[in-house]
Amino acid sequence: MTKLRSLVMAGLVVTLGACTNFDQHSEIDALNEVQPVGSPFTQHLAEEYRVFANSEMHDMMDYPDALHFARKGLATASGEVVMPEPISDWNLLPHHMEELSTARGRLIVAFDLGAREVAPQQAAIAQARFDCWIEQQEENWQADDIAGCKSQYLQAISALEGMIEPMAPVVEAAPAPAPLPVPAEPMTPDDAMYLVFFDFDKSVVEAGGQNVLDAVADEAMKQNIARINVVGHTDSSGSQAYNEKLAMKRANAVREGLVARGVDAAMISVTGRGETELLVDTADDVREPANRRVQITFE
């Protein structure tokens, strides 16, 4: 367990000790006894953390991580919305860090689109399996457990994305599979918004993004579209000057993809905003998959 997470755990247990009646019990015993309150999401998530913490304690004999997730479970049981594990709190290899960052980005985008309210149980399962995956990945020796948590997360997030009904029509193409579906009802051009996501420091439109471009081109040809606005964005990692250039490269890659699909180049307006308009607010120099995107709208 990293030093940062240990400090967070220490702070959380002080808080719980001051505001709960569990002082004479272990955190796991307390979580087993508590009656969760709050929203349907927090109640389901408290149950997920209860199962996970007990497994870490009794099956894995991993006392520190069992306490960590029991404390998250107690906070959730009190009605507090706790977030999926931060990537920076875990000691991961670079390629595991990138993969888990992408996975966390999908989860955060789903939450921002109302997944906790629309499908609270599925949202809780997705968060708990993500936390299980990152915990097992840091240990990096129980291959079956890593694969199990990862597979369960991917199944859960794919199902969750399929349940979301965005406020505005959104097609999301994350680096991982299972983009959000295009709504079945005909969309109003002025309300339509499409998102194409990119890998870290890349401007190549991957397979999921290609599917989004297919949908954009098809819609542009069916509707009376005057202009297509293509706006490139980056996360906050790197300098502002570099990110402005990278945002334009991403926007131009989308533009080229649309032109290749028969869209009139004169209709397409291309701009880059760099790191100035983050989809998920972060501190400076943070790799956030949800912010590495191109946004497409119609006029």
pLDDT of residue 170: 45
Give yes or no for residue 8 having a pLDDT over 60: no
Q: How many domains does the chain have?
A: 2
State whether 151 and 177 are in the same domain.
Answer: no
State whether 148 and 186 are in the same domain.
Answer: no
pLDDT of residue 70: 92
Angle among Cα 150, 156, 158 to the nearest 5 degrees reads 100
Half-sphere exposure in the Cβ direction for 140 (13 Å, CA)? 10
Give yes or no for residue 185 having a pLDDT over 50: no
Query: What mean pLDDT is predicted for residues 47-69?
Result: 91
State whether 205 and 154 are in the same domain.
Answer: no
User: Which domain CATH number covers 236?
Assistant: 3.30.1330.60
* pLDDT above 70 coverage of the chain, percent: 82
Gap between the Cα atoms of 49 and 102, Å rounded: 22
pLDDT of residue 153: 94
* pLDDT above 90 coverage of the chain, percent: 46
Give yes or no for residue 24 having a pLDDT over 90: no
State whether 187 and 279 are in the same domain.
Answer: yes
State whether 220 and 280 are in the same domain.
Answer: yes
State whether 23 and 55 are in the same domain.
Answer: yes
Model confidence at 20, in pLDDT bands (50, 70, 90)?
Answer: very low
Q: End of a domain among 132, 163, 194? A: 163
State whether 152 and 237 are in the same domain.
Answer: no
Mean pLDDT (the chain, rounded): 82
State whether 286 and 261 are in the same domain.
Answer: yes
Q: How is residue 236 written in tokens? A: 């906050």
pLDDT of residue 40: 93
Model confidence at 165, in pLDDT bands (50, 70, 90)?
Answer: low
pLDDT of residue 21: 39
Model confidence at 294, in pLDDT bands (50, 70, 90)?
Answer: very high
State whether 138 and 275 are in the same domain.
Answer: no
pLDDT tens-place string over residues 238-284: 899 999 999 999 999 999 999 999 999 999 999 999 999 888 788 89
Residue 128, domain extent: 3-163
